[in-house]
Amino acid sequence: MVASEVRALLAGREGQPDQLIEVLQDMQAHFRYLPQEGLRMAAETLGVAPIEVYRVANFYKTFSLTPRGRHELTVCMGTACHVRGALRMVDVAQAELGIAAGETTEDGAFTLERVNCLGCCALGPVVVLDGEYHGHMNPAKLRKLIADTRSADADGGQPDAQD
């Protein structure tokens, strides 16, 4: 399954080594991580040495070599958010989820990440959950956000989904 999906991503990019980062970004978006098989296929199709592909996959922060959780919670650690207490958000998130930043919960539900500045500095502290931005966060709001996401999961998906 992975092989055919990767082939689709690589279509039209044969022998184009400078497409490597774009390909990996598409792969990351599609699989939510970079499967090793996909990386090897990319090396061969694009004409890039395997060590180079491995290097690029490890260098950039948006790439993950292990599967990410269903929900990605990102805490902004920019300077403006820092002076407004971003570290406290990380403390709360780590305590609530039981993992350190950069890790994924055992049940595969949450991945916690720190990011250096999303550009919403006036709204700090900012966290992003599954692509949605939440500004003016505080510990209570963050706890609620995590709890709401957990209960929505338990209810089987979207809170307002109908059977």
Partner 1 sequence: MPKISTPQALADLRDRLMAARNGDARATITLCAGTGCQASRSLPVQAALRAELERAGLAGQVQIRTTGCHGFCEQGPLMIIEPGNLFYCRVTPEDAPEIVRRTIAEGAVIERLLYTDPVSGQQVAHEAEIPFYAAQERVLLGQNRAVDPTRIEDYVALGGYQALAKALAEMAPQEVIDAVQAAGLRGRGGGGFPTAIKWQATRDAEGAPKVLICNADEGDPGAYMNRSLLEGNPHAIIEGMLIGAHAIGASQGYIYVRAEYPLAVEHVRAAIAQARELGLLGEGILGSDLCFELEVARGAGAFVAGESTALMAALEGEVSEPRPKDVHTAEKGYKELPTTLNNVETWADVPLIIREGSDGFRRLGTPSSPGTKIFALTGQVKNTGLVEVPLGTPLREIVYGIGGGAANGRAIKAVQIGGPSGGCVPESLFDLPVDFDSLREAGAMMGSGGMVVMDEGSCMVDVARYFLDFLKDESCGKCVPCRLGVDRMLEVVTDIAEGRGTLEQLDLLEDLGETMSLASLCGLGKTAATPVLTTLRYFRDEYLAHVVEKRCPAGVCRGLVHYTITPEACTGCGVCLRSCPQNAITGERRRPHLIDQELCIRCGICREVCRFSAVAVA
Partner 2 sequence: MIRYITLTVDGATIRTPQGTSVLDAALDQGICIPALCHMRGVEDIGVCRLCLVEVVRNGRSRVTTSCTLEATEGMEVLAHSPLIMRLRRNVAELLVAEAPNSRAIQDIAARCGVTTVRYPFHHADCVLCGRCVRICSEMWQAGALGFVGRGAERRVALPFNERPEYCKRCYSCIDVCPMTIAPCAGPMAVGEEYLCAKCASQLTMTARMPDSCVWCELGKGFGCARQTPAARTRERTAAR
Residues that bind partner 1 (CB under 8 A): 17-22, 24-25, 46, 48, 52, 55-56, 59-63, 77-85, 87-88, 91-92, 94-96, 115-124, 126, 133-135, 138-140
**3, 29, 49, 100: which one binds partner 2 (CB under 8 A):** 49
Of 6 and 76, which has the nearer Cβ to partner 1? 76
Tell me how many residues contact partner 2 (CB under 8 A). Answer: 12
Cα distance between residue 21 and residue 55, in whole Å: 11
Q: Which two tokens stand for residue 152?
A: 């929505």
Asked if 144 touches partner 2 (CB under 8 A), the answer is: no
In the complex with partner 1, the residue whose CB is nearer, 17 or 108, is 17
Verify binding: residue 155, partner 2, rule CB under 8 A: no
Which of partner 1, partner 2, none interacts with 49 (beta carbon under 5 to 8 A by kind)? Answer: partner 2
User: Contact with partner 2 (CB under 8 A): which of 1, 51, 154, 161?
Assistant: 51
Cβ contacts of residue 24 below 8 Å, gap of 6+?
A: 34, 39, 42, 56, 57, 60, 63
Task: Find the DSSP H helices in 32-138.
Answer: 36-46, 50-59, 79-83, 86-97
Cβ neighbours of residue 18 under 8 Å, at least 6 residues apart?
A: none
Q: Which 3 state secondary structure label does DSSP give 31? A: helix
Distance of CA 78 to the CA centre of its chain: 17
Q: Which is nearer to partner 1, 50 or 156 (CB)?
A: 50
Applying CB under 8 A, the residues found at the interface with partner 2 are 36, 39-40, 49-55, 58-59
